[in-house]
A = this chain, B = another copy of it.
């Protein structure tokens, strides 16, 4: 917020703050403002991830949803089960425990050097800090807001049981059979032992209260054709749908036992809402409508409607991101409070280190404003006069900070500029 007031004056060659002193009154509309990064379809070196984390801080996104593993690769070191990262593409496309800790740590690098001094009012504090541009600043905030604005949490994801084929490269017993490689083998205790080992090792790295257990796009067909799984289903008197539910609920129990609040993709809610742990945070992705249903049943919800907030949908322009409304269809105030926020999702089937930042920026900034700013202050009417001008300016600020953000108004995301021109005239 503060750095938005600073501008370089080319006449005096100094950084100036116009109309100072300022009284800044600013707080986020939603507590959870996330960006998903998928490191399984393509691997991102930690230098790239740190660049992304730094750029998130510029728009006050505060959760990196790290979709670490998927069916294509298992890049993370898990000390309890050291063969798991044999599922990485190569031995170089891996995150050591130290790398993961470094990613976590870098999420707090961009707070500046913040010193908090208690003032007469017990909740009002003076903050002495250095902002991201290195300018000294002093301002007063309520401490609970400081905690909200400072630092980025990492919400790790282990997407089970569907998106997990790569687990079996190191431990083939996790596959129901060589021809049925996912979902993970629901019939073996070993599957849940491995899951528990992963969650235990990750607990040591990621202190955030939320952990994402996936649960989406589970096609259980091949469980039926795998003799020992079929036999187990019969013994348990379960359909494959029952077994999918059994897997998800058991994974939730393990996560909760390790003091995590579980997050699941919306299919789990759509399929067996009544069985989900009441603490479950339902993560919308398929389309509009699930958050209203989830909060009506008392669940918390994260909004990521793919039609507007999936960054890999290159045809969604900045205003599509900006116009999205996480509270759409929810009128009751108590239910609205259960929507903890939203998240833009950078799936990596066709993104890699060469183009990921151009795909994220500047569209993620439009969603970030929706998540931060009150609805009244960020209307969806007349946006080409209000939000667009701001976003174009911000895109140029991103490039000034070394972030490879795309032109704002290109028809498809990450397209090059059409011809010579100013950054401010896109």
Contact = CB atoms under 8 A, between A and B. Distances in A.
B423 A43 contact: yes
A351 interface: yes
Contacts of A407: 352, 354
A51 interface: yes
Contacts of A402: 45, 47-48, 50-51
Nearest to A357: B404
A350 B407 CA distance: 11
Interface string A342-354: 0000001111111
Interface string A392-426: 00001001111011110000001011111111110
B45 A400 contact: yes
Instruction: Give the interface size class of chain A.
Output: 35 or more
Nearest to A51: B402
A401 B402 CA distance: 15
Contact of A93 (B94, B358, B404, B422): B422
Contacts of A424: 89-90, 92-93
A401 B89 contact: no
Interface of A is mostly: loop
Interface in A325-367: 348-355, 357-358
B89 A13 contact: no
Nearest to A44: B399
A72 interface: yes
A23 interface: no
A91 B416 contact: no
A4 to B, nearest CB: 15
A178 to B, nearest CB: 21
Given A45-B399, A47-B402, A416 B90 contact: no
Interface in A365-400: 396, 399-400
Nearest to A38: B420
B91 A405 contact: no
A216 B349 CA distance: 44
Interface in A134-161: none
A60 interface: no
A41 interface: yes
B94 A420 contact: no
Nearest to A425: B89
A42 interface: yes
Interface in A82-98: 89-94, 96, 98
A22 interface: no
A355 B410 CA distance: 13
Contact of A348 (B42, B73, B89, B420): B420
A42 B293 CA distance: 49
A25 to B, nearest CB: 28
B45 A350 contact: no
Contacts of A349: 419-420
A417 B45 contact: no
A408 to B, nearest CB: 10
A93 B423 CA distance: 8
Contacts of A48: 399, 402, 404
Contacts of A354: 358, 399, 404-407, 414, 416-417
27 contacts: A8-B92, A10-B94, A40-B420, A41-B420, A42-B421, A45-B399, A45-B400, A45-B402, A47-B402, A48-B399, A72-B421, A73-B422, A89-B424, A89-B425, A92-B396, A92-B400, A93-B422, A93-B424, A350-B418, A353-B405, A353-B423, A354-B358, A354-B405, A354-B406, A355-B358, A355-B414, A414-B416
Interface of A: 8, 10, 13, 40-45, 47-48, 50-51, 72-73, 89-94, 96, 98, 348-355, 357-358, 396, 399-402, 404-407, 414, 416-425
